[in-house]
Amino acid sequence: MAIEKVKQLDEVRARQLLNWLQREELPVTTTRQPAGAMAMLGFARRFRPASRPSSEWMNELRSGERE
């Protein structure tokens, strides 16, 4: 029955249907984005690639509180 219906379509509509079917057959690939605190891991590396000891960045935070 479906094949008979497709045979009745004009070329433009048949092409639209085939394009739609091809898009539907493509696998859905979604990249999972981390949520919450995990989303922040590596964020600071964009701005300061070298790692620092905790005491160094805590001093930087505390100096901001004094200003």
Rounded-to-integer distance, Cα 8 and Cα 2, Å? 10
The per-residue pLDDT for range 26-59, each reduced to its tens digit, is 877 777 776 777 777 777 777 877 888 999 989 9
In this predicted structure, what is the pLDDT of residue 67?
66
| Rounded (to 5) percent helix, strand, coil in the chain | 65, 0, 35
* DSSP H/E element including 7: helix 2-8
Mean per-residue pLDDT for 6-30?
86
